[in-house]
Chains A and B, each alone.
Chain A
Amino acid sequence: MKSISLYEEKASFVHDVDPITKLWYIPFAILIPIILPSFTISFLFIGLSLVLLLGAKVIRKTIPVFGFVFLILITVVLIQGMFKPENETVLFQIGPLTMYKEGLLFALTITLRVINIICAFMILVLTTKPSDLVEALVRKGMSPRIGYVIVSVFQIIPEMMATMSTITDAQRARGMETEGKLLVRIKAFIPLLGPVVLGSLINTKERAMALEVRGFNSQAPKTYLYEEKTYQFSKVLQIGMLLLTMAAVSWRIFL
């Protein structure tokens, strides 16, 4: 079964960092360019994230994500470059289309912000196994019941996708059309979705009973299947990021 998570198992120094520190990196990398809004800072953080992604040997996995986002960003650049209300300075013309400086600068700000956020998230997502992240959060005090819910999503989705492909094949074998005019495609939606959803909802009853029989609601303290993996520099990195954020705030206020 195909996993839906983008996690890639590799040996690298980024993979060794504990999930909580990588989680900290996200607000750190997003907040500082907001506190100190300059293109230099934004480029600096995107560069740092890209170096980390390169170091983790997962940079190729980011391409499909960026491909999808770039498509939206191109429309942002075109629309803002041509139609932003504050547009005054003409930069260049292509046929009947005029691009303005103000709109393009605004589009650049948006593009840098979006790429920065995606890079920061990608470091966590591509180098951390979802179950490791959930386990680390439960150790930090998150409810193990919610932890179970999150981990089980990663099991249920591939299961439901397998059911859906079975049902799609079955319905096609009965002569249902899934291609053609819009009305034909709309009519196909319910017979494909309905059985999967009904089946999964009916299964929840058995799943709930199976869990309760195994002491899911027990109040006794939970133990862990795996030993806690520790990373020696996590405290140093976390405090370092906090200090840098505070330095950025004071820089903004006092200078």
Chain B
Amino acid sequence: MKKQSMWSLRLSTAALVLIPVAVGVNYIGKLLAALLKLPLWLDSIGTVLAAMLGGPIVGALAGAINNIIYGFTDPISFVYAITSVAIGLVVGILFYKGFISSWGKVLVAGLIIGLVATVVSTPINIGFWGGTTGNVWGDALYTFVLAKTDSTWLASLLDEIVVDIPDKIVVVLVSYGIFKGLPQNVVQLYTNNQKIETLD
């Protein structure tokens, strides 16, 4: 049984239907985090799940469409679409290479994804906001580092890291938990092998 390449651009109907659900899950996660007053964003669970189920291309598409739609309620999101695309791509690749297969590995994967998100977001933060993120803890650190070292880049990078890494670790852990709870017939919809079984 040969698996189709993870970069296949031929999206099945199931994969396309997954994208709006992923955007919805992101939205619900963000809403719940705000409702429960949690100190994290938790707004990328859907993108991560879509990338696990459908591969990097579906993950990246889900990330892009997610931020375009968020843009209809808050135009700043458009700019961060690049970060979402990067998250979708990285999760898809990590999952395909088997890095998201046990709780221990998931922790490391979360760290990697958090770092990637930080590296992509920092230049956007600097170009757009002058380096701050709008998160209270991150901005306090930004101010402290800026006053000590005079480096906007270092301050902004650390500002983003303290928020992004814990956030992405939790997101990947939650997504993996949900993924493990999914019934097999749903997971199989997306495994993309073209094999047809016959009964005769």
A166 at the interface (CB under 8 A from B): no
Which residues of chain A from 84 to 107 have a CB within 8 Å of any chain B CB? 84-85, 106-107
A198 at the interface (CB under 8 A from B): yes
* Residue numbers in B under 8 Å from A113 (CB-CB): 128
CB distance from A173 to the nearest CB of B (A): 17
CB distance from B197 to the nearest CB of A (A): 18
Among A76, A83, A118, A185, which residue has its beta carbon within 8 angstroms of that of B37?
A185
Select from chain B the residue with minimum beta-carbon distance to A118: B75
* Residue numbers in B under 8 Å from A5 (CB-CB): 72-73
A121 close to B71 (CB less than 8 A): yes
Which residues of chain B from 121 to 148 have a CB within 8 Å of any chain A CB? 128-130, 132, 134, 139, 142-143, 146-147
B100 at the interface (CB under 8 A from A): no
B88-115: CB near A (< 8 Å → 1, else 0) gives 0000000000000000000000000000
* Residue numbers in B under 8 Å from A150 (CB-CB): 65, 68-69
Which residues of chain A from 223 to 248 have a CB within 8 Å of any chain B CB? none
CB distance from A18 to the nearest CB of B (A): 18
B23 close to A178 (CB less than 8 A): no
A204 close to B130 (CB less than 8 A): no
A-B contact count (CB 8 A): 176
B130 close to A153 (CB less than 8 A): no
Which residues of chain A from 21 to 74 have a CB within 8 Å of any chain B CB? 65, 68-69, 71-72
B35 close to A178 (CB less than 8 A): yes
A142 at the interface (CB under 8 A from B): no
Select from chain B the residue with minimum beta-carbon distance to A164: B28
Give the CA-CA distance A103 to B37 in the complex, in Å: 33
B18 at the interface (CB under 8 A from A): yes
B27 close to A157 (CB less than 8 A): yes
A249 at the interface (CB under 8 A from B): no
CB distance from B32 to the nearest CB of A (A): 6
B119 at the interface (CB under 8 A from A): no
A185 close to B38 (CB less than 8 A): yes
* Residue numbers in B under 8 Å from A212 (CB-CB): 13
Among A79, A82, A145, which residue has its beta carbon within 8 angstroms of that of B11?
A145
B152 close to A6 (CB less than 8 A): no
B174 close to A190 (CB less than 8 A): yes
* Residue numbers in B under 8 Å from A217 (CB-CB): 13
Give the CA-CA distance A216 to B14 in the complex, in Å: 11
CB distance from A45 to the nearest CB of B (A): 15
A188 close to B71 (CB less than 8 A): no
A204 close to B76 (CB less than 8 A): no
Give the CA-CA distance A204 to B23 in the complex, in Å: 13
Give the CA-CA distance A182 to B28 in the complex, in Å: 19
B146 close to A85 (CB less than 8 A): yes
User: Quick one: given A192-B32, A205-B185, are A69 and B76 in contact (CB under 8 Å)?
Assistant: yes
A11 at the interface (CB under 8 A from B): no
Give the CA-CA distance A69 to B139 in the complex, in Å: 15
* Residue numbers in A under 8 Å from B129 (CB-CB): 72, 76, 110, 114
Give 6 closest A-B pairs by Cβ, nearest first. A121-B75, A72-B134, A85-B150, A185-B36, A208-B14, A153-B20
Residues on A facing B (Cβ under 8 Å): 4-6, 65, 68-69, 71-72, 75-76, 79-80, 82-85, 106-107, 110, 113-114, 117-118, 121-122, 125, 130, 145, 148-150, 152-157, 159-161, 164, 178, 182, 185-186, 188-190, 192-194, 196-198, 200-205, 207-208, 211-212, 216-217
